Amino acid sequence: MTSEAAVENSSEGKPELGQDRVLIFDTTLRDGEQAPGFSMSRAQKLRMASALADLGVDILEAGFPHASDDDFSSVRAIATSVRGPRICGLARCQQGDIESVARAIEPATKGRIHIFLATSPLHREFKLQMSRQQVIDTAVAGVERALGYCGDVEFSAEDAIRTEPDFLAEVFSAVIAAGATTVNVPDTVGYTTPIEIAERFAWLRANVRGAESVVFSAHCHDDLGMAVANSLAAISAGARQVECTINGIGERAGNAALEEIVMALRVRSDRFAGLTTGIRAKRLHATARLLAQITGQPIARNKAIIGENAFAHESGIHQHGMLKHRGTYEIMHAEDVGFARSQLVLGKHSGRHALRERLSMLGHELDEAALDEVFVQFKTLADRKREVFDADIEALAVGRDPEAAGPWHLSHLHATSHVDSSASASVRLTHDDGRVVSEAAIGDGPVDAVLRAVSRAVGHEFAVEEFHIRALSEGGDAQGQAAISVIHEGRELRGQAVSTDIVEAAAKAILEIANRIEHVAVARPTEPTAIAH
CB atoms under 10 Å from CB of 417, counted, come to 17
Residues 154 and 184 sit within 8 Å (Cβ to Cβ): yes
* Angle between the N-to-C axes of helices 368-384 and 390-398, in degrees from 0 to 180, rounded to the nearest 10: 140
Q: Sign of the CA dihedral 311, 314, 317, 321?
A: positive
313 appears as a binding residue in the annotation: no
Residue 305's nearest CA partner among 326, 274, 327, 283 is 283
9 appears as a binding residue in the annotation: no
Q: What share of the chain is helix, strand, coil (3-state, %, to 5)?
A: 45, 20, 35
Query: Vertex 85, ends 143 and 138: CA angle to 5°?
Result: 10
Give the list of residues 6+ apart from residue 139 with CB closer than 8 angstroms, or none. 93, 115, 117, 155, 157, 171, 174, 175
Quote the CA–CA distance of 510 and 500 in Å, as a whole number: 17
Q: Which residues of 456-490 are buried (b: 16+ CB within 10 A; e: fewer)?
A: bbbebebeeeebeeeebbeeeebbbbbbbbbebee
Give the list of residues 6+ apart from residue 364 with CB closer than 8 angstroms, or none. 286, 394, 397, 398
Give the list of residues 6+ apart from residue 374 with CB closer than 8 angstroms, or none. 355, 359, 366, 396, 397, 400
221 appears as a binding residue in the annotation: yes
Quote the CA–CA distance of 460 and 510 in Å, as a whole number: 11
Is the bond into 407 cis (omega within 30 degrees of 0)? yes
CB atoms under 10 Å from CB of 65, counted, come to 29
| DSSP helix/strand/coil, 312 | coil
412 CB burial (10 A radius; 0-12, 13-18, 19+): exposed
Quote the CA–CA distance of 487 and 501 in Å, as a whole number: 25
Q: What is the DSSP string of 61-91?
A: EEE-GGG-HHHHHHHHHHHHH--SSEEEEEE
Quote the CA–CA distance of 82 and 271 in Å, as a whole number: 34
409 appears as a binding residue in the annotation: no
Q: Sign of the CA dihedral 471, 476, 479, 484?
A: positive
Instruction: In the chain, count H helices and then E strands.
Output: 17, 16
Q: Sign of the CA dihedral 207, 212, 213, 218?
A: positive
Quote the CA–CA distance of 128 and 386 in Å, as a whole number: 63
56 CB burial (10 A radius; 0-12, 13-18, 19+): middle
Kind plus residue range of the DSSP H or E element containing 488: strand 480-488
Which residue positions form the known binding site for Mn(2+)? Answer: 31, 219, 221, 255
Which residue positions form the known binding site? Answer: 31, 219, 221, 255
